[in-house]
Amino acid sequence: MSRMSGKLSRTVLRRGKGSNPFSLVDYTSKSFRKKLVDASMKQSMSRVARCIDNGPMEAFWGMLKSEMYYLKKFNTYEELEYAIENYIDYYNHHRYQKRLNCMTPLEYRRYLRSVA
Protein backbone atom coordinates (compact mmCIF):
# COMPACT_ATOMS: atom_id res chain seq x y z
CA MET A 1 0.00 0.00 0.00
CA SER A 2 1.46 3.40 -0.97
CA ARG A 3 2.03 6.21 1.51
CA MET A 4 -0.70 8.28 -0.13
CA SER A 5 -3.39 5.59 -0.08
CA GLY A 6 -6.38 6.95 1.77
CA LYS A 7 -4.82 10.39 2.33
CA LEU A 8 -7.78 12.15 0.75
CA SER A 9 -10.27 10.41 3.02
CA ARG A 10 -8.15 11.32 6.04
CA THR A 11 -7.79 14.93 4.84
CA VAL A 12 -11.52 15.47 4.73
CA LEU A 13 -13.24 14.07 7.76
CA ARG A 14 -16.62 12.67 6.98
CA ARG A 15 -18.95 10.31 8.69
CA GLY A 16 -20.91 7.52 7.09
CA LYS A 17 -21.87 3.94 7.83
CA GLY A 18 -18.57 2.13 8.01
CA SER A 19 -16.80 4.77 5.91
CA ASN A 20 -14.18 5.76 8.46
CA PRO A 21 -13.00 4.99 11.97
CA PHE A 22 -14.45 8.12 13.59
CA SER A 23 -17.54 7.74 15.74
CA LEU A 24 -20.09 10.38 16.73
CA VAL A 25 -18.33 10.55 20.10
CA ASP A 26 -15.10 11.56 18.34
CA TYR A 27 -16.88 14.38 16.47
CA THR A 28 -18.52 15.78 19.60
CA SER A 29 -15.52 15.52 21.93
CA LYS A 30 -13.85 18.61 23.37
CA SER A 31 -10.49 17.60 21.89
CA PHE A 32 -11.95 17.34 18.38
CA ARG A 33 -13.70 20.72 18.70
CA LYS A 34 -10.43 22.26 19.93
CA LYS A 35 -8.65 20.94 16.84
CA LEU A 36 -11.30 22.58 14.66
CA VAL A 37 -10.95 25.90 16.49
CA ASP A 38 -7.15 25.73 16.26
CA ALA A 39 -7.43 25.16 12.49
CA SER A 40 -9.99 28.02 12.11
CA MET A 41 -12.59 25.52 10.93
CA LYS A 42 -16.32 25.52 11.58
CA GLN A 43 -18.03 22.25 12.44
CA SER A 44 -21.12 21.38 10.45
CA MET A 45 -23.06 18.48 11.84
CA SER A 46 -26.75 17.79 11.42
CA ARG A 47 -28.92 15.78 13.75
CA VAL A 48 -29.01 12.02 13.26
CA ALA A 49 -31.03 11.08 10.13
CA ARG A 50 -31.18 14.77 9.08
CA CYS A 51 -28.01 15.09 7.03
CA ILE A 52 -29.13 18.03 4.86
CA ASP A 53 -25.65 19.56 4.87
CA ASN A 54 -23.97 16.30 3.87
CA GLY A 55 -25.34 15.92 0.32
CA PRO A 56 -23.71 18.98 -1.27
CA MET A 57 -20.30 18.18 0.23
CA GLU A 58 -20.51 14.51 -0.75
CA ALA A 59 -21.32 15.62 -4.31
CA PHE A 60 -18.39 18.07 -4.34
CA TRP A 61 -15.87 15.49 -3.04
CA GLY A 62 -17.20 12.94 -5.51
CA MET A 63 -16.53 15.37 -8.37
CA LEU A 64 -13.10 16.27 -6.99
CA LYS A 65 -12.12 12.61 -6.77
CA SER A 66 -13.40 11.68 -10.24
CA GLU A 67 -12.10 14.82 -12.00
CA MET A 68 -8.73 15.14 -10.25
CA TYR A 69 -7.77 12.67 -7.51
CA TYR A 70 -8.20 9.38 -9.38
CA LEU A 71 -6.43 10.76 -12.46
CA LYS A 72 -3.06 11.39 -10.82
CA LYS A 73 -0.64 9.67 -8.50
CA PHE A 74 0.43 11.76 -5.50
CA ASN A 75 3.82 11.01 -3.99
CA THR A 76 3.65 13.45 -1.09
CA TYR A 77 1.00 15.00 1.07
CA GLU A 78 2.10 18.42 -0.20
CA GLU A 79 1.39 17.39 -3.81
CA LEU A 80 -2.09 16.25 -2.80
CA GLU A 81 -2.73 19.43 -0.80
CA TYR A 82 -1.62 21.62 -3.73
CA ALA A 83 -3.80 19.67 -6.17
CA ILE A 84 -6.85 20.00 -3.90
CA GLU A 85 -6.31 23.75 -3.51
CA ASN A 86 -6.00 24.13 -7.29
CA TYR A 87 -9.13 22.06 -7.89
CA ILE A 88 -11.15 24.15 -5.42
CA ASP A 89 -10.01 27.30 -7.24
CA TYR A 90 -10.91 25.74 -10.60
CA TYR A 91 -14.29 24.56 -9.28
CA ASN A 92 -15.24 27.99 -7.93
CA HIS A 93 -13.86 30.18 -10.73
CA HIS A 94 -13.80 28.15 -13.96
CA ARG A 95 -16.07 25.07 -13.77
CA TYR A 96 -19.38 25.96 -15.40
CA GLN A 97 -22.34 24.06 -14.04
CA LYS A 98 -25.60 23.38 -15.81
CA ARG A 99 -27.59 23.49 -12.55
CA LEU A 100 -26.28 27.03 -11.96
CA ASN A 101 -27.58 28.33 -15.31
CA CYS A 102 -24.23 27.49 -16.94
CA MET A 103 -22.31 29.75 -14.56
CA THR A 104 -19.46 29.07 -12.17
CA PRO A 105 -20.36 29.03 -8.46
CA LEU A 106 -18.90 32.51 -7.96
CA GLU A 107 -20.67 33.92 -11.02
CA TYR A 108 -23.93 32.43 -9.79
CA ARG A 109 -23.45 33.93 -6.32
CA ARG A 110 -22.85 37.38 -7.86
CA TYR A 111 -25.93 36.91 -10.04
CA LEU A 112 -28.09 36.05 -7.02
CA ARG A 113 -26.85 39.14 -5.17
CA SER A 114 -27.67 41.36 -8.15
CA VAL A 115 -31.28 40.14 -8.41
CA ALA A 116 -31.96 40.21 -4.64
pLDDT in tens, 10-53: 444 444 445 444 445 566 778 888 888 888 887 776 666 666 76
Rg, the chain, Cα only: 17
3-class SS of residue 79 = helix
* Mean pLDDT to the nearest integer, 74-87: 93
- The answer to whether 81 touches 8, Cβ cutoff 8 Å, is no
In sequence order, the β-bridge partners of residue 103 are 97
Query: Looking at residue 21, what DSSP letter applies?
Result: S
Query: Looking at residue 98, what DSSP letter applies?
Result: G
- What whole-number distance in Å separates Cα of residue 69 and Cα of residue 83? 8
- The answer to whether 83 touches 72, Cβ cutoff 8 Å, is yes
- What whole-number distance in Å separates Cα of residue 104 and Cα of residue 96? 4
Comparing 53 with 107, the larger pLDDT belongs to 107
Task: State percent of the chain over pLDDT 90.
Answer: 46
- The answer to whether 65 touches 8, Cβ cutoff 8 Å, is yes
